[in-house]
Amino acid sequence: MILGFMFLWIGPGLFGSIMWLWQLGNTMPGTSSPWTWGACFAVVALVSIPVMFLLERATRGKFLEGAAENLESDNLMTVGLRGRLAAGAVVIELCLWGPRMLTAGGRRLREAREVERFDREPAAVLLATMLTREEGWPAPELFAASGLPEEDVHAAIAYLLFHGWIDQGKGGRRCWVTSEARRLLDGGGAR
């Protein structure tokens, strides 16, 4: 999160500097510029930081991917614009990296607080059950084989997913022990 906080200031620093240089170029010779660099930075930061968080939330971390898809065109009139637009999209993507890391860090902290209250014993039972097969488990079979109440199974899955011991397919219909967890358990190491 610290790195994300540092990267958060790239956009305001870049665009604040552009604003400051633009207003310097437009002042009359012999007069002082109306805004200092710090004032330009502060104004741009006040406006751009909320916009960056909103844009990051709207694009869900896929701004550059979406921009690249939109730039694909067979129209010959847009060929000259694509390079400039792609460069702008890369700059905006760099500006969004800070909000993305802060958002992901906040989400991870919330998940850690939620998972912290779960009992580890059902998670250990579920993991031991899952280790009896090399391949993944369909969810209904795993529920039955573990012998745990359904609410304990859900809490155990959340705990094991958070700590990276297991993974699951889309929709949660199939679960499996990760390769790294199997390697750690086979080698006797623990996390």
Q: From start to end of the chain, where are the E strands?
A: 137-138, 166-168, 174-177
SS3 4: helix
Judgement on whether residues 107 and 153 belong to the same structural domain of the protein? no
Surface-to-core class of residue 25, CB atoms within 10 Å of its CB (0-12 exposed, 13-18 middle, 19+ buried): exposed
- In angstroms, how far is CA 170 from the centroid of its own chain? 18
Domain that holds residue 142: 120-186
Confidence of residue 50 (pLDDT cuts 50, 70, 90): very high
- Residue 177 has which token pair? 């022990």
Task: Give per-residue pLDDT as tens, 78-111.
Answer: 666 666 777 777 888 888 888 989 998 988 888 8
Domain boundary among 91, 111, 131: 111
pLDDT at site 42: 92
Say if residues 9 and 42 touch (Cβ distance below 8 Å).
no
From 71, 78, 41, 105, select the one nearest 63 (Cα to Cα): 71
Instruction: Tell me how many domains the chain contains.
Output: 2
pLDDT of residue 80: 65
DSSP secondary structure string for all residues of 100-114: HHHHHHHHHHHHHHH
103 compared with 63, residue with greater pLDDT: 103
pLDDT digits (tens, 9 = 90+) for 170-179: 877 888 988 8
| Structural domain includes residue 191 | no
Residues 6+ positions from 16 with CB-CB distance below 8 Å: 37, 40, 41, 42, 43, 44, 45
CA angle 115, 121, 122 (to 5 degrees): 75
Residue 38 belongs to some domain of the structure: yes
- The residue-averaged pLDDT of 119-148 equals 86
Residue pair 146/121 in contact (Cβ under 8 Å)? The answer is: no
Q: Which of 26-30, 44-48, 105-109 bottoms out in mean pLDDT, i.e. has the lowest? A: 26-30
176 and 155 part of one domain: yes
Give, in order, the Cα–Cα distances in Å from 156 to each of 5, 116, 119, 121: 33, 11, 8, 8
Show which of 70, 88, 111 is a domain's final residue: 111
Residue 98 lies in a domain: yes
First to last CA, the chain: 22
The pLDDT value recorded for residue 73 is 63
**Final residue before a domain boundary, out of 111, 145, 165:** 111
